[in-house]
Chains A and B, each alone.
Chain A
Amino acid sequence: METETLLLNMGPVHPSTHGVLRFKLRMDGEIIRDCQIVVGYLHRGTEKFGEMKTYLQFIPYTDRLDYIAAMPNNYAYVKAVEELAGIEVPQRAEYIRVLVMELNRVINHLVFMGSLLLDLGASTMIMYGFRERENALQLYESLCGARMTFNYIRPGGVREDLPDGFIPKLNEFIKDMEKRIVDYEELVNGNEIFLMRMKNIGVINAEEAINYGMTGPSMRGSGVDHDIRKLEPYSIYQDLDFKACMRREGDSYARYLVRVDEIRESLHILKQIVDKLPKGNTINQRYGFAPNTGAPSAVTSYFPRIFTPAEGEVYSRIEAPKGELGFFVASDGTTKPYRVKIRSPSFCNLVALPKMVLGLKIPDLIAAFGTIDIVLGDVDR
């Protein structure tokens, strides 16, 4: 029966939009017939700032993109600058970088699990997720003084060496998380309400997922195992043993399970790093110095404030917790980048959402949207 459609506005301020995002929905009864996404409420002009700040000054701005997992943002930008200028990185610094990035992947997926379950009406998981996240944030705090906006990774290395007692605390965290993750799976995975909300909701097949620009765990829920850490190994990933987690179903539940598996893989990587962590410098000696005095207030390493790479363009990408995070940096041989372009995973993953939710109901939109795992700071930049 033909009925009149209703235009329904959802957001910009809505608890399940994880920030400020607006859906314009055309509803036929309870069925979504059309979904338009309006973004940009959190636009801060980060790319313009990139042109106005020096290479070093821009690093803190990258923290504010995906603020749940800021370390990969730092690294992606620094990696682009390093490729542009041909800066080498000492092995210990590479290990520390991967350590902090994988720890951030764990944090990101914990927040994902918590907020997804909260959107679906279960408030226990977010308490658990944030409890474990707190332990990891304290590790970061001891490392660089910040809990979320780190400003830690520098071209040529990292800002400071690991503090005393970091590794034992990290070991404790890994051991704790390995036990907790089993609890979470018992709590969530078999829950009948959860399964009914997630299974066969928001299905997208592999070909479409790639064509719509989905990357990261959201794409790997659709039966492809493309992971940039495997496709184009950067840093030390070729020396580490891990697998790209993948599920075939392509629905919300598959995307959720991929992330749970990734927590395990990240913990596995962290354990290897603890075993293999080499001694040595934490920053390229050509650019700074790193006397490990042990005193917390001592300047441990720095990168020159005035830094001029040669003219050129580079696009460099990494596997961030949410997907492919890339920085395009163009240099004109001055102290400031000529152009900085951020390819953010959240922005591109959102493109596929309207396709995924056609013919579903509004609660399903929230479930599918939750499993894409976006952060609005990353979408709007």
Chain B
Amino acid sequence: MNSAEELKYLLPNSVVSVGVQTNKPQAVIRKEDFLKVAEKVKELGYDNLSVITGVDRVDRIEVIYNLFSYKKKQNLALKVVLDHRSPEVDSVTSIWKVADWLERETYDLVGVKFNGHPDLKRILLPEGWIGHPLRKDYDMNTEQFVTIGEDGEDIVSPDGSNLLRRK
């Protein structure tokens, strides 16, 4: 029994299906139960959250969590499938602290909202940026201009009105 099947056995109602992510066991989780499952997974010894990946599948958004247990030396991937119009899932910052930045990055670039995150704001792009670049429908042709205001905060505009232009 691999780690995903073990999770299915322990939480049969929350785990939708089990499969593989190439060579790692993967469990697809009901998004409503995600926080509960994450707590259970931490209890099972998965102490290292490697990465959170958001993937825009056009009709849905998938968020994939790659976990590793240093004690058991086992891999586990969790996947939640979210609605494309309003992708929302519970934050796991209370369980793995590293999720703080990983979730902010996923919010910034893919536009997934993490409920319960203490400070969910953009991290790589400036506050006020229009759109989420890793969405497949992101508008690549509109330029956006960024300057730093007097208080050090970023100012974004799509027409360059915030730039100092030579007259």
Contact = CB atoms under 8 A, between A and B. Distances in A.
Q: Which 10 A-B pairs have the closest CB atoms?
A: A213-B98, A343-B51, A314-B22, A40-B124, A341-B53, A43-B124, A212-B97, A328-B53, A315-B66, A339-B55
Interface string B84-102: 0000000000001110111
Contact of B124 (A210, A215, A381): A381
Contacts of A339: 53, 55-56, 134
Nearest to A50: B134
B157 to A, nearest CB: 18
A313 B102 CA distance: 19
Contacts of A84: 22
Contacts of B134: 47-48, 51, 339
A9 B124 CA distance: 18
Given A22-B152, A231-B73, 16 more contacts: A45-B133, A48-B133, A51-B134, A213-B48, A213-B102, A231-B70, A232-B73, A314-B22, A315-B22, A315-B24, A328-B51, A330-B55, A341-B53, A347-B105, A348-B101, A351-B101
Contacts of B96: 211, 213
B49 interface: yes
B11 interface: no
B50 interface: yes
A312 B64 CA distance: 13
A258 interface: no
B35 interface: no
B70 A348 contact: no
Nearest to B148: A12
B47 interface: yes
B17 interface: no
B21 interface: yes
Given A339-B53, A343-B50, A348-B98, A313 B64 contact: yes
A380 interface: yes
B40 to A, nearest CB: 17
Interface string A207-248: 010111101000000001010000110000000000000000
A314 B21 CA distance: 6
User: How extensive is the interface on chain B, given as a class?
Assistant: 20 to 34
Interface of B: 21-24, 47-51, 53, 55-56, 64, 66, 70, 73, 77, 96-98, 100-102, 105, 109, 122-126, 133-134, 152
B51 A351 contact: no
A231 B109 CA distance: 31
B21 A313 contact: yes
A39 interface: yes
Given A47-B109, A83-B23, A326-B50, A338 B55 contact: yes
A339 to B, nearest CB: 5
A128 B152 CA distance: 37
Contacts of B70: 210, 224, 226, 231
Given A213-B98, A315-B24, A40 B126 contact: yes
A91 B43 CA distance: 40
A210 B70 CA distance: 9
A378 interface: no
Contacts of B47: 210-211
